[in-house]
Structure formats: C-alpha cells, structure tokens
Amino acid sequence: MGKQSKIIKPTLGLALSGGGARGLAHIGFLKVLEREHIHVDYLSGTSMGSVIAAAYARGMSIEDLEREAVNSTTTRNMIRMVSITPPMRGIVESDKLKSVLNHFIPEGVNFEDLRIPTAIAATDLIHSCSVTLNSGPVLLAVMASCAMPGIFPAVDCPPLRLVDGGVLNNLPVNLARKLGAKRVIAIDAMAEMIGIRPQEEQFIGADLPFPIPGALRDLLWSSSMMVARITQAQVETEKPDLYLRPPIPVEVSMFLGFRHAQAAIDAGERAAEEYLPQIRALLE
C-alpha cells in the first residue's frame, strides 16, 4: 500500500484595518479563530489593526489582549492622554500614546522576535506614499501607523516622516500577500459612512467633560469619509479572498467610542462566528 500524501492547507493571512475604537473588533475575530483552532500564518495591520496584530503576533494571549483593551480605553484613561499645552503637534503627546501602547507591545520587541510574521502600514509625508514596516522596533512602527494627523504627532524616521497608515492603506491586504499568505481575510472595522450623519457617530453630545471644536469634528468626519472611500476602492483592486465588516453598533464611533470597547470586541466575535463556514472553506 502506497503512502498517503499529506494534505497541506493554504497559508492564512489576516488584514486588520484601522478604525479607532471600532478596530477593537479584531480582538473578537481572533478570539473565535483561536477557539476554533484556526491557525493564522501572517498578519498585516493599520492603525488600531496594527496594535492588535503586533500584540497578538508577539504572543499576547487573547484573554490579556481583551482585558487590556477594555481597561486601557476607559473614558478616564483616554482623557488623560489629551494635551492642549503648546507647542502642539497633536492633541495627544507621543509619550502618552507610547505609555498606553507599552501595555500591548513592550519596548525592545523587534519584528524578528514576533511569533507570527507581521507587516504594518504607515504613510510617509515626505515622499507622499504608503510604506511597509516589517523590520526593526515594533513599537515605533505601531506608533507611526497610529499617528493620525491632528490627533497624534508624526513619527520622524529620517529620511521618512510617518503618519497613520490609513491615509493611503487602511486595509493592507497587499501586505498580507507579500508576506506569503495564499488566502487573505480582510476585516474592515471602518463605518460604511453612506447614510450616516455625523451626529450618529457621536461627534456631538458625547459624554466627555470638554467640548470638541466644530472645526475638529468636521476634519475628523471628512478624514473618515476619505479613508472609507479609498478602502472600498482598494478592496476592488486587491480582492481579498474574504472581505467582511463586523456588525459594530453605530454608537461605537471611531474616535469617541472607546467607552464601548466591549461592544466592538463582541461584534468582531459575532462576525467570525457568522463567517466560520466560509473561513473553513478557504482553508480546505
């Protein structure tokens, strides 16, 4: 009797989008994959997606990741990050952002140390292009990918000046493929934007102890619109093997929805459970 050939499953890559508080849905998605013993071979991420990807890739347990995400994003902790003391390069200082991200990605961790190969998207303001970060310090790369202009300071890495990867590549399907993934699942945590008014995104009337200037609300809203449109165009050209948008409640807004962190995580879990048959089919 001849030897039976071993069935080799195609490698799986996850592309995790940015989306601020909504990006916490990625934790719930990973939670279900781990529960179902579905192995992730490659990870790519932008902004909040880069935080979750890097933390998971370095070996942080889903339980710790979920607990830290909920604890770190309470309204009180988020307010502590805000600074309006000049000179200002953003309303959140680099040191305060770094302090929060340290809970997920300790200093001294390099991409070469990660258990799962990972690539992070950022945007270079000097050369007006998207860049791939997949070597060197992981924390610095995540800070760059999260550096939304006006909110967080840019990260200077001469000859580059890096800001939020979501400016040009909010759902980095291409990076997962470049790493070697044969099947790519793209999880888009951004709001669809069509038919949603800014009031429904809770820019107005949010439960915060300070007012948000109308000009800043308009800037953030217009930025979200542009990112959502660019992302949809990229989905058409990059074509992930499976594209899904978790059913995140509208009150979990991108910027002010961190007090609903658990709702975002739960939405990601529901999405993974709904798509489990398609996910298994991809890997057969």
E-strand stretches of the chain: 12-16, 42-46, 118-124, 129-133, 155-157, 160-164, 183-187, 242-244
Active-site position among 164, 188, 241, 266 = 164
E-strand stretches of 129-275: 129-133, 155-157, 160-164, 183-187, 242-244
HSE-CB of 193 using CA atoms within 13 angstroms = 18
Active-site position among 47, 130, 223, 253 = 47
Is 223 an annotated catalytic residue?
no
Cα 136 from Cα 133, distance rounded (Å): 8
Cα 205 from Cα 118, distance rounded (Å): 38
Is 113 an annotated catalytic residue?
no
- Token couple for 11: 């490698």
Report in angstroms the alpha-carbon separations of 96 from 21, 46, 283: 17, 20, 41
| Ordered DSSP codes for 45-104 | EETHHHHHHHHHHTT--HHHHHHHHHHHTSHHHHHHHB--PSS-SBSB-HHHHHHHHTTT
Catalogue the active-site residues.
47, 164
